Amino acid sequence: MLRIYNYMASALALTGIVALWAANSQAFLSAIYNVQDGHVVGMNGLGYLVLFAPIGLVLWLGMGIQRMSLRTAQAIYWLYATLIGLSLSSIFLIYTGESIARTFFVTAGTFGAMSLYGYTTKRDLTGMGSFLMMGLIGLIVASVVNIFLHSSGLNFALSVLGVAIFVGLTAWDTQKLKGMYYQMGGSGEMLAKVSIMGALSLYLDFINIFMYLLRFMGDRR
């Protein structure tokens, strides 16, 4: 579990550094965004590549981790964190730095509390996990629908639901990873690969909690 948390914290640090660098790099912003009169009006082809490439990396890692070497799995993991950082550079153009920092610390506290609960509780969270996964599918479908509806009310409801789902998934993922450690015996290269996948799960929980909370707590520029 310590290895998982170390991987996760390192990936978050890498993502934050890359996002901050990218937001302050005019060359990068000009390369991925269409700018008119000093304002960002949309992404270009390279921008969409940066946005959607992490999906391909997750699928590659998830389906092929048993066959790939540990070094390859690590490389994909760090590349994923870097690309997410590039994608998140846009939040520095939308929200103030102070509100981003405030939201980050609130997210860290929330995540830490729920992960600790998942690690220490004697309650079996398997049933809750199945329910949350169904909720996540519904959240994705509703979010796609709202792209066309542009409903502010539905957007607010989805933000609340998103925070609740990923807060719950944090506890569920932590308990699941703890159980996997005991099943695998605590040693070997495969366990190291599982640590990477576990860190990726918790990393995604953290990033999603942060992004949904930012909708409430972020002060727009």
> pLDDT digit string (tens) for 120-143?
999 999 889 889 999 999 999 999
pLDDT of residue 30: 84
| pLDDT (0 to 100) of residue 134 | 94
Low-confidence ranges of the chain (pLDDT < 70): 35-40, 184-187
Long-range contacts of 67-70 (CB under 8 A, 24+ apart): 70/189, 70/192, 70/193
pLDDT at position 37 is 63
Residue 29's pLDDT is 85
Please give the Cα distance from 36 to 42 (Å, whole number): 10
- What is the pLDDT at residue 66? 84
What is the overall mean pLDDT for the chain? 90
Question: What is the model's pTM?
Answer: 0.92
What does the pLDDT read at residue 162? 95
